[in-house]
Amino acid sequence: MNLHILPDRVKQSLHEHGLCPGDTIIVALSGGADSCALLDILAGLKELSLHLIVAHLNHCLRGAESDTDEEFCRGRAEHYALPFKARRIDVGEMARLQKINLEDAGRQARHQFLEEVRLEHDAAVIALAHHADDQAETVLMRLLRGAGTTGLSGMSWRNGNRLRPLLDSTRVEIEAYLAERNLCFREDLSNRDTKFLRNRVRHELLPLLETYNPAIRSSLTTTASLLSDEDAVLEDLTAKLVSEACRFTPESVSCDLIVLVQQPPALLRRLLRHVLERLHGSLKHFGFRHIQALEHLICSPRPNARLNLPVGTCARRSYDLLVLERLSKQENLAGGDIVSITGPGVYRLPWGGTLILSLGVAAPPDAGRLNQNIACFDLEKVPFPWQVRTFRSGDRMTPLGMTGSKKVKDIFIDAKIPLPQRRRLPLVFCGTTLIWLCGLRTSQKSLINDQESVIIIGEYSAT
């Protein structure tokens, strides 16, 4: 093997992914063959004048062996006269407390530790030693679990602050480099433990697939590369669609349904994944079934519909909008509180808004029809105490000017009131009779015939 093959590839990778001479790089060193090769290659690129910092996380999973790995990595850093950062985290205990598997716990612990070291030293990237065989294993694992184009693209060369300079090099090439350079490394026996999915794929599934296609590893990495290029095009189209159809606030996103229903399913699903990730920072709690449920909501014939999603997320269709939001305290309060009205005064409502009741010496002209937020009542017809609450299924009223009752839900629908607003509008009752749907309609009880009556003037403010 030509000793310059891997260093030349790494050097080219650094250049293609934005690294410059003199940059600071955190080298993640486990002590295994791959990371030891990467450290040696980076340390040998003298012409780039890189500032390298070696970082090792002791997972505390193998007792004395884990401690020996840490000391070996410290020795490797000293060999190249490089700074060394180490940390001990009991990953087994972390997995138990967070109720996740060991692989996920170890991944989270490594990411957090390495990012903290990067920030401490203001480093450009964290260099990881994943290679082409790791890529093949990753693609297979994601295929087994179920994934779309993004997942089957495998690991990216650069993902934010993480760089994989060896991603196009094979394990055989790395082992040959180590042998020719006479470099030592540590063998982690847990890498042969088939209770872990990656190890079963590496030691059982891939060898089996090689009996069907001896070049299966190369085929998988080539497929991942092709899908990654196509995924980048689709992501660009999705970003343009999101900017056209969606409006974001810190707690919600509103999407134009007229635009969404015109999109092909693949692009629509990507948009939904994008807005969920932007709203929550990750897609950790969302799977394909949640995306499907959102698709059904978008295509629903109902103008108003609601869907509850993980981590306190509410999705609702409100006429021409799809709104995804985190449930607020106001929405959780709405419907559960009843405010007692004992007489004139200012009443602040727990779900938001204010009700002001005052005495009038006479009925104003066209009483009861002043505007949507003001109503007048004959106190003899509707004596105190009153009760105020929000909408409940089955509520009915007899609107002013009608002889029969009507469902409050139908009044909302006729006025095209979005679902969240329905949960905040106050309903004013005298006994069991709904006399005022604030902001929308008053009842027959607001009709004032006797000018000698004691008048109560009510004013509703949503703020």
Query: Tens digit of pLDDT for each residue in 198-227?
Result: 899 999 999 999 999 999 999 999 999 999
Tally of domains within the chain:
3
Query: Average pLDDT of the chain?
Result: 89
Residues 171, 25: one domain?
yes
Helices marked H in 416-463 — which ranges? 419-422
Q: Reduced to 3 states, what is the DSSP secondary structure of residue 362? A: coil
Q: Does residue 243 sit within a domain?
A: no
Q: Does residue 279 sit within a domain?
A: yes
Angle, helix 91-98 to helix 102-121, in steps of 10 degrees: 110
**231 is known to lie in a ligand binding site:** no
Task: Taking residues 188-205, report their average pLDDT.
Answer: 86
Output the pLDDT for position 367: 47
Edge-to-edge order in the sheet of strand 321-326 = 246-248, 252-256, 321-326, 313-318, 304-309
Q: Reduced to 3 states, what is the DSSP secondary structure of residue 126? A: strand
Residues 36, 122: one domain?
yes
Residues 81, 146: one domain?
yes
Residues 38, 129: one domain?
yes
Is residue 133 a contact partner of residue 191, using CB atoms and an 8 Å limit? no
Chosen domain end from 327, 357, 390: 327
Helices marked H in 45-101 — which ranges? 64-79, 91-98
pLDDT score of 186 more than 60: yes
Edge-to-edge order in the sheet of strand 386-389 = 339-341, 386-389, 427-430, 433-437, 441-442
Quote the percentage of the chain above a pLDDT of 90.
58
Q: How far apart are CA 177 and CA 36, in angstroms?
A: 11
Output the pLDDT for position 102: 86
Q: Does residue 280 sit within a domain?
A: yes
Residues 279, 408: one domain?
no
Cα–Cα distances (Å) from 226 to 147, 230, 460, in that order, read: 15, 6, 60
Radius of gyration of the chain (CA): 33
Element (H, E) at 74: helix 64-79
Is residue 275 a contact partner of residue 324, using CB atoms and an 8 Å limit? yes
**18 is known to lie in a ligand binding site:** no
Summarised one tens digit per residue, pLDDT across range 365-402 is 554 444 578 888 888 888 888 999 999 888 999 998 88
Buried b (16+ CB within 10 A) or exposed e, 195-210: eebeebbbeebbeebe
**156 is known to lie in a ligand binding site:** no
The torsion angles phi and psi of 31, rounded to 5 degrees, stand at 105, -10
Q: How far apart are CA 76 and CA 242, in angstroms?
A: 48
**Which of the four pLDDT bands, split at 50, 70 and 90, describes residue 328?**
low
**Which of the four pLDDT bands, split at 50, 70 and 90, describes residue 426?**
very high
Output the pLDDT for position 370: 46
Q: Does residue 86 sit within a domain?
A: yes
Q: Does residue 234 sit within a domain?
A: no
Structural domain containing residue 449? 335-461
Output the pLDDT for position 361: 62
**Which of the four pLDDT bands, split at 50, 70 and 90, describes residue 332?**
very low
Output the pLDDT for position 310: 85
- CA 229, chain centre distance (Å): 24
Residues 311, 344: one domain?
no
Residues 316, 355: one domain?
no
Chosen domain end from 301, 327, 353: 327
Cis preceding-peptide flag for 385 (omega within 30 of 0): yes
**Which of the four pLDDT bands, split at 50, 70 and 90, describes residue 421?**
confident
Residues 377, 298: one domain?
no
Is residue 209 a contact partner of residue 144, using CB atoms and an 8 Å limit? no
Give the CATH number of the domain where residue 283 resides: 3.30.465.60
**Which of the four pLDDT bands, split at 50, 70 and 90, describes residue 334?**
very low
Pairing relationship of beta strands 455-461 and 354-360 according to DSSP bridges: antiparallel
Pairing relationship of beta strands 441-442 and 433-437 according to DSSP bridges: antiparallel
Residues 389, 342: one domain?
yes
Residues 219, 192: one domain?
yes
Where is pLDDT greater, at 340 or 34? 34
Residues 391, 309: one domain?
no
Give the CATH number of the domain where residue 31 resides: 3.40.50.620
**146 is known to lie in a ligand binding site:** no
Q: Does residue 230 sit within a domain?
A: no
pLDDT score of 115 more than 80: yes
Output the pLDDT for position 206: 95
Q: How far apart are CA 291 and CA 270, in angstroms?
A: 9
* DSSP secondary structure code for residue 448 in this structure: -
Where is pLDDT greater, at 80 or 393? 80
Task: Taking residues 343-368, report their average pLDDT.
Answer: 76
Least confident of 32-41, 293-302, 331-340: 331-340
pLDDT score of 330 more than 50: no
**30 is known to lie in a ligand binding site:** yes
pLDDT score of 77 more than 60: yes
Give the CATH number of the domain where residue 348 resides: 3.50.40.10
**312 is known to lie in a ligand binding site:** no
pLDDT score of 445 more than 80: no
Q: Does residue 232 sit within a domain?
A: no
Output the pLDDT for position 74: 97
**Which of the four pLDDT bands, split at 50, 70 and 90, describes residue 416?**
confident
Residues 428, 388: one domain?
yes
Element (H, E) at 206: helix 206-210
Chosen domain end from 279, 297, 327: 327
Q: Does residue 238 sit within a domain?
A: no
